[in-house]
Structure 1
Amino acid sequence: MNTDYIGLKRALEVQGVNIPSYNAVIIGAGGAARAAAFMCGTCGVRGLVILNRTVQKAVDLAGDVKKAFPWMNVSAMPLSDAGKVPFENFLAIQCTKVGLAPDNAACPVEDAAFYQKLAVAFDCIYNPEKTAFLQRAANTGKKAIGGIDMLTYQAIASFEAWTGKEISNEMADGIRTELSAFIREQNRPKNVVLIGFMGSGKTTVGAKLSKKLGMKQIDLDAMIVEDARMPVTEIFRKEGENGFRRRETKILQKLIEDGTRDCVISTGGGIVVQEENQPLLKALGTVVLLEVSPDTVVRRLGKDSTRPLLQGPDRVRKVRTLLVRRQNAYARSADFTVDTNAKTADEVADEIIRRTIG
């Protein structure tokens, strides 16, 4: 019994997809792709294109499908030609591991023309629930279905085959809900640590993330101020930048020693300058770099006089110089980067959630 075949068919049908009414495009040529191709043939799909990086594997699979379903129009194409598939309003079934957690940002097809042509996108991947592939399809207004339903019905098919007991639709819905909750909880980062230049939105985005994820927000600068019993500007005046950086290290070490969990941690813009802080940040959780341009920094900060490193004339030049100086340290410290220049705090927070939990 092939549970891939059963799970995929039932997952599509439950989502209201009339399989034989579409031509289909399958991405991949492995075991899941084979099950998907033979499901298409069994259901009466008339036209099928198989896309794969290694074209010969797609050709071989297409040949096997053609032997089983001689009436079917089956062809193979390189994945790089995805935008040139000869169908309109087709069913796309993504069967590769591209986009599987933790590589959530990866996408098997980059060509925008592909997403404009399709009608329904299905991804066999269930972790994350909404892959980059599905997100791109949804962004073009197309129906996007994740692999959690396929996983659910694969499990149900196995259970029914072994026990002879039938699972009701109501029970299936409950199983799906439990599976989804379990996967999201497993993906939940220990902490989300926000790094980036001043004005990148770490505190604002941190507040949004905290609310959306139900996690406590920690502002590292606020902790330093409380510990030192004086404002940041005063610390810089009395202890210099090196003194402030040592205080940052001390706070990071304390958070780790205390076993801090389920927090969104907003850091100071220069925390990566102290090299010993970089592994400490990673030890705390998933580190997200909020990227920002010099012009955006100056626009957002306006005439803010509380930033010790930006005092005096020609602020744009100072920002650009500091950004260049810190660029490599930011890159070494971050698990991934989000460009914040043209996004609202809510949009940035939603992207972080998608790329961590899914």
Structure 2
Amino acid sequence: MAKDIKGTTRVCGLIGNPVHHTMSPAIHNTLNELTDTDMVYVPFEVKENDVEAAIRGALALDLLGLNVTIPHKSAVIPHLKEIDDVAGRIGAVNTLVRTADGTGFKGYNTDYTGLLRSLQEKNTNLAGESVVILGAGGVARPAAFLCANEGAKEIFVLNRTFERAEQLCSDVNTYAGKELAIPMELSAYKELPVDRKYICLQMTQVGLYPDSDKAVIEDPEFYKMVKIGFDAVYRPLTTRFLQYCRDAGAVCVSGLKMLLYQGVDAYEKWNNITVSPKECEFVYGKLLSELLEGRNIVLTGFMGSGKSSVGKELCRILGYEMIDTDAEIEKEQNTSISQIFDTLGEEAFRDMETDYVKRLSEGQRSRTLLSVGGGLPVREENRRYLHEFGAVIFLKATPETVYDRVKDDDSRPLLRAEDVLERIKEIQEQRRPVYSAAADIEIDTDSKSLNDIASEIIEMLL
């Protein structure tokens, strides 16, 4: 539903160049809806020579506040009336809040707090830890000061240009009052002390879509020293850097959470409210949905593989609409699947499935999750329609798991047998190659929570 713009509606926005790729409107306008706040958020592309004019214009137009992105995070500072101590030390600002008297803006750096909150969510404490920061640019600066402020034992800053790493370390050490940060050339990563495990913060743009097959360090041996890996890049959600970390057994933190929390912090400052954890979770789902660009999802698999429950969890996270083919056919025929089998036969039911998925594939749906009956992918034409509709996910479960889930369900016509477990094994053996042939992604569901399965699907789609 469109936002109701009124004479009282306040405006916040983002200045930078370029800005048209930004996901920030999804954060702030979703929060407006959730909190019933009379505000709208829009991006403004501002060229390098127009920063001062943009700040003056924002004041004159009574904008409530602004976010600032590259390349203006430092350029805005001379035009602020006040600056937060942390942002001043970092030398970069990404959030402008009107001063109490309304005559200017105060600058904050919520990249700093966004990174902190995303690490805290993974129960990561920087105190006493050895940290490696990859990069020395815009987002590396708040990361380095955060590590110093949170009590890191040592901070190694690795950068392709040694002079930039050296300058950042000098600034951090001056702030800390001791030799805490050590500059290194990126190529010298093998000289890192090997007798410890590191929290590694990847703060470069290496791995950003469409160059998703790259990592700033490609040596798997390096990642054996990493116990927690954070990547500021969030497109794709699981970057090559994070995949290296995961393969080495490290805890992984996506930059999408930093994007979320830096935005939430700014929103709270502008509106003097507190955003709840539940609201944060909803907005995060909105961001994931934006990254998926409305792409439909299809869940296939044997009966009892978890399609309905996993589908509901995905819809809860992403805000998608869920369609179940069996339920829709029962609704259209005004009778149960069992009755269709008994009165018209299985082949008639399979024709109904084909007709239904054909109609879906020809429509213009988006942001839809489709859960299909276990036998639907058997027909080749159905598999084609499913691929036309969206990304096809095969949920796998062992016969024993399926049996435990469906043994008391007498509504399933294909399980009318004396030995239900053997019947499940027989049908699974027949259909497994079909499910695999139909799938873009295969997911094991045994011994996993619904949230873990849903998160795995989302990460693989992104």
- TM-score tier after normalising by the smaller chain length: 0.5 to 0.7
Q: Structure 1: how far apart are the matches of 2:142 and 2:294?
A: 29
Q: Structure 1: how far apart are the matches of 2:326 and 2:421?
A: 23
Q: Structure 2: how far apart are the matches of 1:341 and 1:128?
A: 26
Gaps of 5+ in 1: 27-32, 51-60, 63-73, 78-84, 154-168
Conserved? CA contact 1:99–1:133, under 8 Å = no
Conserved? CA contact 2:358–2:385, under 8 Å = yes
Conserved? CA contact 2:285–2:319, under 8 Å = no
Q: Percent identity?
A: 27
The alpha carbon displacement at 1:356 in A equals 3.4
Q: What RMSD in Å do the two structures reach over aligned CA positions?
A: 4.5
Q: Which moved more, 1:181-190 or 1:282-291?
A: 181-190
The within-5 A match list for 1:228-267 is 228-267=333-372
The residue identity in structure 1 corresponding to 2:226 is L
Q: Structure 2: how far apart are the matches of 1:241 and 1:109?
A: 53
Q: What is residue 328 of structure 1 aligned with on the other side?
A: 433
Matched residue SS, 2:310: helix
Q: Structure 2: how far apart are the matches of 1:241 and 1:352?
A: 31
The residue identity in structure 1 corresponding to 2:255 is G
Alignment size in residue pairs: 296
Q: What is residue 17 of structure 1 aligned with on the other side?
A: 147
- From 436, 445, 448, the equivalent of 1:343 is 448
TM superposition score normalised by structure 2: 0.52
Q: What is residue 125 of structure 1 aligned with on the other side?
A: 233
CA 1:99–1:329 in structure 2 vs 1: closer, same or farther (change >3 Å)? farther
The alpha carbon displacement at 1:308 in A equals 1.5
Conserved? CA contact 2:136–2:168, under 8 Å = no
Q: What is residue 272 of structure 1 aligned with on the other side?
A: 377
Q: What is residue 190 of structure 2 aligned with on the other side?
A: 75
The alpha carbon displacement at 1:256 in A equals 2.4
Q: Structure 2: how far apart are the matches of 1:246 and 1:224?
A: 11
TM superposition score normalised by structure 1: 0.65
Q: Structure 2: how far apart are the matches of 1:102 and 1:349?
A: 26
Q: Structure 1: how far apart are the matches of 2:422 and 2:284?
A: 51
Conserved? CA contact 1:125–1:148, under 8 Å = no
CA 1:302–1:48 in structure 2 vs 1: closer, same or farther (change >3 Å)? farther
Deviations 1:216-240 (A, max 9, x none): 2211001111222332122223343
Larger helix proportion, structure 1 or 2? 1
The alpha carbon displacement at 1:149 in A equals 6.4
Deviations 1:278-322 (A, max 9, x none): 121121122221111111011111232211112112222222222
Q: Structure 2: how far apart are the matches of 1:109 and 1:314?
A: 52
The within-5 A match list for 1:106-117 is 114=223, 117=225
Deviations 1:303-355 (A, max 9, x none): 32211112112222222222222222212222212211101323322333343
The within-5 A match list for 1:163-202 is 184-202=289-307
The alpha carbon displacement at 1:208 in A equals 2.1
Conserved? CA contact 1:287–1:333, under 8 Å = yes
Conserved? CA contact 1:293–1:341, under 8 Å = yes
The within-5 A match list for 1:147-158 is none
Q: What is residue 6 of structure 1 aligned with on the other side?
A: 137
CA 1:309–1:142 in structure 2 vs 1: closer, same or farther (change >3 Å)? closer
Gaps of 5+ in 2: 1-69, 72-134, 170-180, 271-279
Q: Structure 1: how far apart are the matches of 2:410 and 2:257?
A: 51
